[in-house]
Structure 1
Amino acid sequence: MKQHTLSKKQKGPLGPLWLRCVLFAAAGFCMGLAVTGAMQWISTGTLPGVAEWALDYPGHLLMTALLWAAPVWVLGSLTGRLWLAALPAGALGLILALVDYFKNAINGTPLELADFGLAKQAGNVAGLAGDLTPPEDFYPAAAGLLLCVLLLLLTRRLTALEGTARGRCCLCSLTLAGILLTGTGTRAVGSWLGVDFYTRMDPAENHSLHGLTLSLWRDAFPQPKTPPEGYDEDFMRDVLERIDQLTEARQEPEARPNILFILSESFYDLTRLPVLQYEGDPLENFHALEAESVSGTFHSHYLGYGTGYLEIPMLYGLNALDLPPGTNICFQDEAVYERFDALAEQFTKSGDYTAEMLHAYDNTLYNRTVTYPLLGFNNLYFSDDIQQMDIERADGAYGGFYMRDGYFFQGMLERMKAVNESGKRAFLFGITMENHQPFEPQKFNYECQIPLVAPDFTPAQRDIIRVMLEGITRADQALGELVTALRESEEPTIVVFFGDHRPNLFMPGGDTVYTLLGLCPENDTLNWTEEEINDLYSTDYLIWANDPELLGDLAGSRRDSSITALGPQLLELTGRPVSRYWALLEKVGEVCLTQTDLYFVDGEGKASFSREEADLSPEALELLELRDAVVYDAVYGKRYITEEMNLPPGT
C-alpha cells in the first residue's frame, strides 16, 4: 500500500504550485513563439529570415506569439495537458502556412482573410491549381514543432495544474482570449506592443511587415471606413445635386444589339513579352479584329488568380477597396448586391433584354449561384447545362483539362438564338476555362500548333511556356470562329472580349516566366515598382460589332480600359439609359481605371502606388470623392440617396 502511494506521488505534479503556474504560462508562450517561428520559416524560406523579421519587429513577434499562446493556455487548462493543447495549435499553424505558400505559388499574393470565403470549395480550388508541393522548409519546421510538443510531454509534471489552480488558470486564459477576440482589446494590446491595427495596407506589405498570423488578425479587426466629412442627409443631397450637374439623362437608343460579354481566361497578348519568339502569330484573329474594334490595354486587379473577385467589380461597380479588409466580395450579405442596379440591369430594366450567365465549369466556386441572380441575370448555365444543348462539334466538348472555348462559344450562340426567338435581345456574360491553370506540359497532350523559340530557357521551362502559347492560340481561334458565325448572322451583335488576368506560369524551381524575363524582381509584389505592377496586372481587350454602324467612328480606335471601366464604356458606346450610379462610374472611368490596395491607375493608364501619389486634377479628385460618398452611403451609411442613384440623372 505504501509503495502504491509513493508511485502515485511520483506520477503527479512536480514542484510547488507557484513554480508550476509560472512554468505553465512560460511553456504556453514558448509554444506560441514556436508556432510563430515555424510559420515565418515556411514563409521566408530561411531561418535567418525569421531572425531578421523578429529583430526588426519584436512587437509583431510578441503579439503573434500571444495570439497562438492564448488557445494553448485555454486548451491546456481545460484538458490538464499542455502538450495536448499544443498539438492542434501547431497543426493549424502549419496548415495556414502551407495554404499561404500555395496561394503565393498560384498568383504571387499572400493568403488573406477574404480567401476563407472559398474554404468550402478548397478542394476544387486546389484541383484547378494543379500539383502543389510543400516547400523544403515545411518539413524541418514541422519537425521543430513536434520536438516542442515532445518537450512539453516530457516535462508535463512541471506544468501540471489541478483543482482550484487549474480552474483559476482556465478563467484567466479565457479572459485573455476574450480580450483578444474583441476589436477594442486587440487594439489595446497591439498599441502596447507597437502594432498598428488601424492602417489599411496592401496584402503583400501587410504580410511582409506583420507575418501571416498577424496580417490575418489585422484583417479581422479593420478600422471602420471613414465617412465623408460632414456626412448627413443634407450632405448627401448636395452630392446628388452635384452628380446631376456632372451627368445627363439619355434617350432610349434606336439600336438594340445583342451583347456577348466574354471573360477569356488568362488571355493576353503574349507577343508583347520580350525574348520569346513564335513562328506564327498566336493572336492572328485578335490582331486582325483590332482594326475593326475599340481595343487597348485592359487593367486588371489580379495576376494569375481571382476571376470571381473580378466579376463583381465589373458587373456591380464595387471593388475590394470599398469593403473592409478581409471581406470576400463574393460572399457579402445578399442585400449588398441589391443596393445598386447592376450592369445587366441597365439593359434588362427596359424590358427588351434577357440577361444570362454561361460558365464553362461547374457551379461550385465564388458563390455565383447566389450573386448572379441578385445582379439581374435571369438564367445561369454551367458546363453540364451547356452540354445539354446538343452542340455538334467534331473535336468534342473538352480540350486540355476543361471545356473548349469553341464549344463554349457555340453554346453562347445557341442561347442568343433562343433569346432572340423569344422576341428579346440577349445580354450574355460568358466565362471561358480552356486556358485556365494548371499549365502542366501534358495539358494539351504536348501539342503546340505554333513553334516556340526560347533559347535562354531549359526544355522543362519551354514545355510550360508552350502550354500558355497553345491555350492562348486556342482562345484566339475560338474568337475567330465566333466572329465568323456572327458575320453571317442578321442579328446586330456587339462582342466585348477581354482577358481577366495573365496566367501565373510558374517554372520548375519557383520562378515565373515574368521573373525569368526580367519583368519583375521576384514573385512577391512587395518590391515591385508601380510600372511593373501596372504592366503585369494588365491584359488586352476589344469591343467588336458585326454591324460597323454600332461602333460609329470608333472602329480601329485605341483606349485603355479596366475591370471597372469596361462596363461604363459599353454603356457609353450603346447609349443605353443609365442610372445616376452608372453615369457617375462613366465619369470616374475617365480619370481612374483601377484603384486597389496595391496600386492606382489614372484615366490615361499611368500607374501610382495610391490615389494620393497620383497627379490628379481637382476635377478628378472631386469625381472620386463623389463616388466615395455614394459608396459609403450605400454600404456603410444610412442610404440617404441610394434609391435615387438607381434613377436616371435629373430624376
Structure 2
Amino acid sequence: MLGVMRKERWMFPGWLYAVIFVAVDAVCVGILEWGVSLSATRVQLSSPTVGWGFLTKMFTQANFVCVLNMLLLGIVYLALLMLFNRFWIATPLILALAIIIAVIEHFKVSIRYEAILPADLSFLKADAGNLMSFMPPGAHWVVLGAAVAGVALFALCWVLYWLDGRHGRVFRSGADPRRTALNTVCRLLLIIVPGGFLTLYTMQVSTVGSWAKSFSSAMGDIPSMWDSVYDAQRNGPLVAFLRQLNPKVMDKPADYSEETMRQVAARYEKAADQINRTRSANMTDSSVVYILSESFSDPARVPGLKMNQDAMPQIRQIKEHTTSGLMLSSGYGGGTANLEYMGLTGLSMANFDSSLTSPYQQLVPTEHWMPTINQMWGAPKHSIGLHPYESSMYSRATNYKKFGFGKFYTLTGPDVISHQDKLGSSPYVSDAASYQSTLEELRKTDKPQFLQLITMQNHMPYHEWYPDNEFHAESTTGTPLEKDERMSIETYAKGAEITDQATKEFLDELDKLDKPVTVVFYGDHLPGIYSSASQDENNSLALHLTDYFIWSNQASASHGTKIGDDEYSSPNFFIAQAAEHMDAKVSPYIAFLTELHAKVAAMEPPVVNKIQGWNQIPEGSDIYLDPEGKPMNPEDFDAATKRLVDDYRLIQYDITDGANYLKDTDFMNLPE
C-alpha cells in the first residue's frame, strides 16, 4: 500500500525546483540582512536603507545589490546542490548556514556594533573557545527564536521532500552508464564554472578597474567603509564581506628583497646616528598627545569666502610662537581615519594602490605586524585612545587594540569616556569635554604616555546648533551663497571658534602639569560644505589644507620651540617633526621620514573637491609639495629625492604587504 502511495506522488519538475531555489536563495539573503539590520539601533552619521528598503530600492533607485547578494549566495547553494545531488539536503544546509551566520552577526553587532570581517576568521581559528564570552544579554531568546525558525523551515523542507516523488534528486541515474557519466560531468561543471566566477569575483572585486569591481558597482554596490554595519546593511553582508577578503594594497617594487631591505635599514641607521649626534633628549621621556580635531580649518582661507570675524584667533596666536603650518589633507568632508592612520604609522596613502581606500578596514585587521608610533612608549598601559563617539567607527576598537593601545575611551565602551557634554542642540560631544577627559588621563600618572584624541564637535552635517551665533559668511565672487551653504558655514565657523577657545584653555591646563607634554594638533580635513568654492577645480589645493601645530608645555625642555622650515606638512611626517621639535633622538625609520620631509614637505594621493568617496582613491597624479607649498613634479626630483621616494615605497610595502623583513632589524627602534 505504501509503495502504491509513493508511486502516486508527483514528480517535481525542474522548473519547480528552480522556483524553490530562487525563493530559498532570497530567504537566505533576507536572513543574513536581518543579522545586521535588527540590532542597528544606535545613532549613526547617516541613516542606511535597511529592512525592506534593501529590497525595494531595486524599484525606487534601480539599485540591484540585493540581486547581487542572491547571485553570490546562489553559487554557494548551487555548489551544495550539485555536491549532494539532493535538493532536500542542500536546501536545509544553506538555510542552516544562513541562520547560524545571521545569529553570530546579530550578536557581534549587538555587542561591538561591527559586522563580521575577514579578520574574524583567524579569531575563530585561534580563540574559538571564547565565543561564549561574546553572547549578549538575552542571547538565549535569539538562539531560541532562530532554532524555532530553523525547525519550521526544516519541517517545510521535509514536507516538500515527502511530497516530491523524486525525493529531491536533481540528476537521476539510470542503467545507461553514459547517462551517469554525463550527469557527473554536468554536476562538476555546475560546481566549477560558477565556483570559478565566485573565486575570481572575490579576488578582484576590491581592485579598481577590474571586471568584478565594475560589475559590482553596476549592480549597486556603494562601499561605505567608515562603518562596517552600515556597509553590510546598505550593500548586503555577503558583498561587504567579500569586498574585504583580497584588497590590492600596493604594487610590489621591482627590487624588493630581503637583501634590499637590509640595505635600506643600514642606510637609515647611519642617518639616525648622524642626527642623534646633535640631539640631547629622548622622545619617550615626555608625554605626547596627538589631537585630530574633526574638520578644523580656517574658513578665512576658503577662496571666494569672507567671514565677518576670525574663527581661530587663539590658535593663530599659538601658531606664531611654536612649530606650525598647513597640513595637506587627502580628504575633503571625509576620510578622517586615513589621516589618523598616516599620523600613527608614518605611512602615506600616496603609496597605496587606488583600490585601498580605507586601511582601517581593508588592511589593518589582517596585518601580522603593524608598528605604530605609540608603541615606542612601551607597554599598552602607556597608550591611551579617546574618541567621543562610536568605538566601532572605522573598526577603531579592534584596530586600536592591534596598535597596542591599552585603553580606548568612547561613548560605547567597553572603556567609556568620562565627559560627554554637548553644546546647544549639537548631537556631538564638545571639544572642551574631550579635552577634560584627556587631561584626566594625563593626571593619572607621572609616567610618560602617548595619547590620541579624535574629537567630534565639528563633524558634519551642520544645523543651527548654537544660539546667538554672531558669525556671518558672504561670497566675494559676486554670486551670493545659497541659504543652506551659508547656514552650514556660519554654524561651522562658530564651532571652530569654540574649538579655538577650548584648545587654548587645554594648553593652559597642560602648562600647569609638572610632567613634560608635547601636543601635535591638526585638523583632518575641511568640512564638505563649501559648495561654491568646490565648483572650481583650481581651488583643490586650498580645500585640502588644514591647520596644524606642535607645542610643548612649560615643563618641557622644548617649550617655546619653533622650527622655522615646517610651513607645510602631511600627517605621515608628524612624528619626525615632533622629534625635531623636542630635540629628540630618532630611530632609523624616523630618520628616514626626517630626510624625506626635508625634500618633500607634504604628500598625498590625488584629491577632489567632493566628500571623500570609498570606491577608489581619485584618479590623477599624487600630490607633492615643496617646503614653500608649491606642487612638485616627480619627474623633476633630484637623485636624492628619487632615492627617498623609492625607499619609502619599499618600506611601506614591507610593512603592509611584504614579508616584514624590517621587523627583524632595529629599523623601528629608538636608541637606548
> What TM-score does the superposition give when structure 2 sets the normalisation length?
0.61
Instruction: Give the Cα separation in 1 of the matches to 2:671 and 2:310.
Output: 50
Secondary structure, aligned partner of 2:394: coil
Q: CA deviation at 1:540?
A: 1.4
Match of 1:593 among 594, 602, 611: 602
Aligned residues: 522
Match of 1:182 among 191, 199, 209: 199
Q: CA deviation at 1:357?
A: 2.0
2:429 equivalent to 1:409: no
Ranges in structure 2 where 5+ consecutive residues have no aligned partner: 1-7, 22-52, 96-114, 121-167, 173-182, 224-238, 606-616
Distance change >3 Å, CA 202–CA 553, structure 1 → 2 = farther
2:367 equivalent to 1:336: yes
2:527 equivalent to 1:497: no
Distance change >3 Å, CA 406–CA 164, structure 1 → 2 = closer
User: Deviations along 1:585-618, whole A, 9 cap, x unmatched?
Assistant: 222333263343445222414458xx8x653222
Contact 2:119 2:366 in 1 (8 A): no
Instruction: Give the Cα separation in 2 of the matches to 1:202 and 1:538.
Output: 32
Alignment of 1:195-210 (within 5 A): none
Secondary structure, aligned partner of 1:517: helix
Instruction: Give the Cα separation in 2 of the matches to 1:353 and 1:186.
Output: 39
Give the aligned residue type for 1:288: Q
Instruction: Give the Cα separation in 1 of the matches to 2:116 and 2:506.
Output: 36
2:500 equivalent to 1:476: yes
Distance change >3 Å, CA 472–CA 21, structure 1 → 2 = same
Aligned to 1:433: 456
User: Deviations along 1:58-95, whole A, 9 cap, x unmatched?
Assistant: xxxxx9999799679779999999xx9xxx9xxxxxxx
User: Deviations along 1:28-53, whole A, 9 cap, x unmatched?
Assistant: xxxxxxxxxx99x999x999x99xxx
Secondary structure, aligned partner of 2:276: coil
Instruction: Give the Cα separation in 2 of the matches to 1:116 and 1:647.
Output: 28
Aligned to 1:261: 290
2:535 equivalent to 1:520: yes
Q: CA deviation at 1:499?
A: 0.7
Aligned to 1:448: 469
Instruction: Give the Cα separation in 2 of the matches to 1:543 and 1:282.
Output: 20
Match of 1:250 among 247, 259, 276: 276
2:382 equivalent to 1:375: no
Distance change >3 Å, CA 207–CA 403, structure 1 → 2 = farther
Contact 1:263 1:430 in 2 (8 A): yes
Contact 1:337 1:374 in 2 (8 A): no
Secondary structure, aligned partner of 1:567: helix
2:648 equivalent to 1:627: yes
Contact 1:243 1:584 in 2 (8 A): yes
Q: CA deviation at 1:277?
A: 2.8
Instruction: Give the Cα separation in 2 of the matches to 1:593 and 1:403.
Output: 31
Q: CA deviation at 1:257?
A: 4.4
Instruction: Give the Cα separation in 1 of the matches to 2:389 and 2:247.
Output: 34
Q: CA deviation at 1:292?
A: 1.0
Contact 1:581 1:645 in 2 (8 A): no
Q: CA deviation at 1:317?
A: 2.4
Distance change >3 Å, CA 499–CA 438, structure 1 → 2 = same
Match of 1:617 among 617, 633, 638: 638
Alignment of 1:130-529 (within 5 A): 164=170, 172-183=189-200, 225-247=250-272, 248=274, 250=276, 253-254=280-281, 256-319=285-348, 321-322=351-352, 325=356, 328-330=359-361, 332=363, 336=367, 338-340=369-371, 342-346=372-376, 348-349=377-378, 354-383=382-411, 397-399=421-423, 400-419=426-445, 422=446, 424-439=447-462, 441-442=463-464, 444=465, 447-453=468-474, 456-488=480-512, 491-504=515-528, 513-514=529-530, 516-520=531-535
User: Deviations along 1:118-177, whole A, 9 cap, x unmatched?
Assistant: 9xxxxxxxxxxxxxxxxxxxxxxxxxxxxxxxxxxxxxxxxxxx9546988776443322
Instruction: Give the Cα separation in 1 of the matches to 2:18 and 2:453.
Output: 62
Contact 1:353 1:427 in 2 (8 A): no
Contact 1:496 1:544 in 2 (8 A): yes
Contact 2:388 2:454 in 1 (8 A): yes
What is the aligned-residue RMSD (CA, Å)?
5.7
Q: CA deviation at 1:406?
A: 1.1
Give the aligned residue type for 1:314: G
Instruction: Give the Cα separation in 1 of the matches to 2:439 and 2:455.
Output: 14
Q: CA deviation at 1:476?
A: 1.2
Aligned to 1:583: 591
Aligned to 1:102: none
Q: CA deviation at 1:381?
A: 2.9
Contact 2:380 2:405 in 1 (8 A): no
Instruction: Give the Cα separation in 2 of the matches to 1:543 and 1:312.
Output: 18
Distance change >3 Å, CA 621–CA 586, structure 1 → 2 = same
Secondary structure, aligned partner of 2:318: helix
Instruction: Give the Cα separation in 1 of the matches to 2:661 and 2:216.
Output: 40
Aligned to 1:539: 546
Aligned to 1:143: none
Q: CA deviation at 1:534?
A: 3.5
Contact 2:522 2:546 in 1 (8 A): yes
Q: CA deviation at 1:306?
A: 3.0
Ranges in structure 1 where 5+ consecutive residues have no aligned partner: 1-7, 26-37, 51-62, 89-112, 119-161, 188-195, 505-512, 522-528
Q: CA deviation at 1:266?
A: 0.9
Give the aligned residue type for 1:428: L
Q: CA deviation at 1:262?
A: 1.0
Distance change >3 Å, CA 22–CA 437, structure 1 → 2 = closer
Aligned to 1:571: 579
Give the aligned residue type for 1:336: E
User: Deviations along 1:248-300, whole A, 9 cap, x unmatched?
Assistant: 35267348544332111111111112343332211121222221122222122
Identity within the alignment, % = 22
Q: CA deviation at 1:646?
A: 3.7
Give the aligned residue type for 2:320: A
Contact 2:244 2:361 in 1 (8 A): no
User: Deviations along 1:318-351, whole A, 9 cap, x unmatched?
Assistant: 35554774774356566836453x21233x24x9
Distance change >3 Å, CA 117–CA 361, structure 1 → 2 = farther
Q: CA deviation at 1:579?
A: 2.1
Q: CA deviation at 1:631?
A: 3.1
Instruction: Give the Cα separation in 2 of the matches to 1:497 and 1:556.
Output: 17
Contact 1:501 1:538 in 2 (8 A): yes
Distance change >3 Å, CA 330–CA 582, structure 1 → 2 = farther
Instruction: Give the Cα separation in 2 of the matches to 1:71 and 1:447.
Output: 60
Instruction: Give the Cα separation in 2 of the matches to 1:615 and 1:211.
Output: 42
Secondary structure, aligned partner of 1:578: coil
Give the aligned residue type for 1:329: Y
Between 473-482 and 639-648, report the one with greater CA deviation.
Answer: 639-648
Give the aligned residue type for 2:410: F
Instruction: Give the Cα separation in 2 of the matches to 1:642 and 1:284.
Output: 45
Contact 1:298 1:562 in 2 (8 A): yes
Alignment of 1:58-97 (within 5 A): none
Give the aligned residue type for 2:268: I
